[in-house]
Chain A
Amino acid sequence: EDKVVQSPLSLVVHEGDTVTLNCSYEVTNFRSLLWYKQEKKAPTFLFMLTSSGIEKKSGRLSSILDKKELSSILNITATQTGDSAIYLCAVEDGGDMRFGAGTRLTVKP
């Protein structure tokens, strides 16, 4: 059965810490993997990773796709309280979009 699994489900850190969020997937027809950040509203796009672009970086956030291990990580360095959110991983499987359950990150001052 196709699935996307994120770990950990929740994480509490202090400002300045570095965190690594994990996403593993098993899908029939992988096309791309996307990361989203969800605060109290709708998810907002962070990164898209495909076979031709396996590493992305934007400020303190970066993400790597490991196609051999069928997984991806999202790194956040020097965390801030504004990074507190649910981070969602999604994998495009043909026309379907399959999401993981998310990782709830809490950054304490």
Chain B
Amino acid sequence: EAQVTQNPRYLITVTGKKLTVTCSQNMNHEYMSWYRQDPGLGLRQIYYSMNVEVTDKGDVPEGYKVSRKEKRNFPLILESPSPNQTSLYFCASSPRTSGRSSYEQYFGPGTRLTVT
């Protein structure tokens, strides 16, 4: 089944404790992206990747890191989480490539993160 998976789905952690949220897609998509969703703010893009080893900042990259060593995986790293990073996080992938208009994005199921 074609899908985007994220793990964990739920996470409660404490300030400053490094964490990684994994994202994997099995559709051979080149484009992957991370978003956070907060009430009243919609989805805000954190980072995106056009292809392996190519990443770019979105609207709200502060406090986050990403890597794209393989096409299928795009982990989101919070080196020192803070309470303002409490949010619902979505990973998405798309078959689009650089220079071409986007295709629909396929979203993962979401990761609800709470930082106390």
Q: Which residues of A contact B (CB under 8 A)?
A: 6, 31-32, 34, 41-45, 48, 50, 88, 90, 92, 95-102
Contact = CB atoms under 8 A, between A and B. Distances in A.
Contact of B101 (A31, A96, A102): A31
Given A6-B42, A34-B105, 4 more contacts: A32-B101, A43-B90, A92-B101, A101-B40
A48 B103 contact: yes
B48 A96 contact: yes
B45 interface: yes
Nearest to B48: A95
Given A42-B90, A97-B33, A98-B59, A48 B42 contact: no
A32 B43 CA distance: 17
Contact of A45 (B33, B40, B58, B104): B104
Query: Chain B interface: which size bin?
Result: 20 to 34
Contacts of A42: 90, 107-110
B41 A101 contact: yes
B21 interface: no
A97 B42 contact: no
Contact of A97 (B40, B45, B50, B108): B45
A92 B33 CA distance: 13
10 contacts: A31-B102, A32-B101, A34-B102, A42-B110, A45-B104, A48-B101, A95-B50, A95-B56, A96-B48, A98-B45
